[in-house]
Structure 1
């Protein structure tokens, strides 16, 4: 089996440098975003101003996805892909140099401009990231390759958040210098890895680029809707981002209010979800017998609902204790159930999303692949913003608690799953 499992890809030049580049990119983005929050505390910024910045930061990062995804999809279709990855990682070095200036001068406006540019760079990288895999992997390797990328991304995001959050805690007065050095060093490492990626031919070298974002965005969204199975797989991936956004956005408050933990407990809760997603992503190849197995998608959806429901019943009210460390939390009655629920939600999320990516890649023509993934990015960013707004509105206007929001999410997830499976019976038939 060793020659045939997904880990063999990590020893091959067609996959490993790309895997490193995308992992380092996700890691650096999160180190940077958390270090900005660390700087706010370091500067002793008032609570109200801190809340403004923590809400403004994700919005600035997401905005370029709306504005430039269609353009990014066309560029990714027209250019040789390894060259484009080198260009985007070179951009990252320039952007992180600007960010370093922001840290060293302790200037929040400069850091926010750099954050917008980071979003722009991620927008350009997105369509290349997912359209490279079908060009370098054989059809039977797609599920395993996507599983590795998904696992790598979720682990990079988690470790990036932890490292970025610790920069100012551990480095103290040297925090700005350490943050500035770290983001530039990571960008340079990413660029060096990008130069090792073998040549990957352009999907449509003769494509005429339309520079007007609005009609082109509508055009790529139409292109992504041509095939029913692809259209619904894209809807499924966007739903995954919706669920993930609501969950991860609530975890900081949930860890303190409902689990009774110190703020560090939030990272533990996030780690459980991320590790679950990583393990689920890796198991997809094993469970699908090396084919693109969409029967895993209903299994993932029903598993997510079951564990979300249980998470509500495991702790429906506020915690009785407060200020618990991770060790103290683990020893509390009922905590093991919550830990299993968070791992379970992540695990089944991996089962849900990896086959959807593999399905989109296996059923989309090579000449349209990057633009279809650009459409996916536009739709994802819409779902992410909707999730953030809904999370706020249900709590502020309707007065819902976080467990009630999780309960609503479990019900909504079941409804969406049933909807997708009734319009594409293929998913359910494969599952049965």
Structure 2
């Protein structure tokens, strides 16, 4: 019966649809829980420590990507990417359940540990999420598929950021309720991942290496052997750095310059996420069937001008709304050509 049900849903929707649903729920969960932890820690340690709290949370969240992304890429080359996605979603359910416990016992350190584990799961999931795209769509649809994937990712950030702020408000800052919601969302993502079509392993014989610096070095060296692949990888990573920096500072900026609350500052980031989703779709449409790297310098100049504008009009809420939206639009246009180029030119 279960197999028949799975076959029915697989026939009704494509694997790309289920991949989008799965990663949408995961990205939404990441943003709900990350912001809820920040609100919880600001609640118990005071608004005056908000910058330190957000910086620490940001560092804890980024660290697993530095430590485990290369190893996760090796696993994606050796094993079925679909199976890795399913196992990552199962881990997410367990981690979110632990989050309920962390809030129940009122442990700030426990929250940081859960945040680290959540980021580790995301680092494990990421290479397979992007690597499976060329395996489930035809080559002439990769740019559009990437645009959709990125659009849904940032739509998830929009919804997750809204829900984190909304749930914090309506629940009277009852963070256990938020953790329960995250667990339910993780379970839905786990179920959705089962409907992604099986993809065979790429056949790589690479072995896992615990020496992280060496793994990073060898990966970069291999990427440099392909024309412009390393440059594209650095370009994509740089955009992620800019996005993380912006997200890390948007709440302190809203509190100090715009005189908003921490939760209201969280709502402000919705605009950036909405812009990135819009920019991603625009990049996919402008690229068509080709990898259009010519969009990158145009988008980069747009981001620079927006940042200057935010600084110049730092006390204007209306300017902040417009410029944070535009930062997102240009960011989406900036990153899609790089991600598509990496997928097209990377060795199998």
Same fold (TM over 0.5): yes
339-348 or 26-35, which moves further after superposition? 339-348
1:106 deviation in Å?
A: 1.9
Q: Counterparts in 2 of 1:24-63, with a 5 A limit? A: 24-41=25-42, 44-47=44-47, 52-63=52-63
Paired residue for 2:77?
Answer: 77
Cα-Cα RMSD: 2.3
Task: Identify if the C-alpha distance between structure 1 residues 342 and 172 changes in structure 2 by more than 3 Å, giving closer, same or farther.
Answer: closer
Q: Is the 8 A contact 2:39 2:263 kept in 1?
A: no
Q: Kindly state the Cα deviation for residue 50 of structure 1 after the two structures are TM-superposed.
A: 5.8
Unaligned runs of at least 5 residues, structure 1: 1-10, 320-328, 330-334, 367-432
Question: Once the 2 structures are TM-superposed, how far is the Cα of residue 260 of structure 1 from its aligned partner?
Answer: 4.6
| 1:15 aligned counterpart, secondary structure | helix
**Alpha-carbon separation, structure 2, partners of 1:144 and 1:79:** 26
Counterpart mapping for 1:135-214 below 5 A: 135-172=135-172, 175-214=174-213
Q: Which runs of 5+ in 2 are unaligned?
A: 1-11
Shift in alpha-carbon separation, 1:260–1:169, aligned structure 2, 3 A? closer
1:277 corresponding residue in structure 2: 276
Q: Work out which of the two has the higher radius of gyration on C-alpha atoms and give 1 or 2.
A: 1
Q: Distance in 1 between matches of 2:115 and 2:321?
A: 33
Q: CA deviation at 1:241?
A: 2.0
- Cα offset, 1:57, TM superposition: 1.8
- Superposed displacement of residue 12, structure 1: 3.8
Partner of 2:7: none
Match of 2:3 in 1: none
> Which residue number corresponds to residue 126 of structure 1?
126
Match of 1:390 in 2: none
Distance 1:285 1:266, change over 3 A: same
Task: Give the match for residue 359 of structure 1.
Answer: 341
TM-score normalised by L of structure 1: 0.72
Taking the aligned partners of 1:269 and 1:48, their CA distance within structure 2 comes to 20
Q: Structure 1 207/248 Cα, relative in aligned 2: closer, same or farther at 3 Å?
A: closer
Count of aligned positions: 337
Could you state the TM-score of these two structures normalised by the residue count of structure 2? 0.88
How far off is 1:21 after superposition? 1.1
Change (3 A) 1:236 1:30: same
What's the counterpart of residue 98 of structure 2?
A: 98
d(CA) in 2 for partners of 1:68 and 1:171? 35
Question: Contact conserved, 1:142 with 1:292, CA < 8 A, in 2?
Answer: no
Instruction: Give the conservation status (yes or no) of the 8 Å contact 1:88–1:121.
Output: yes
Distance 2:63 2:344 in 1: 29
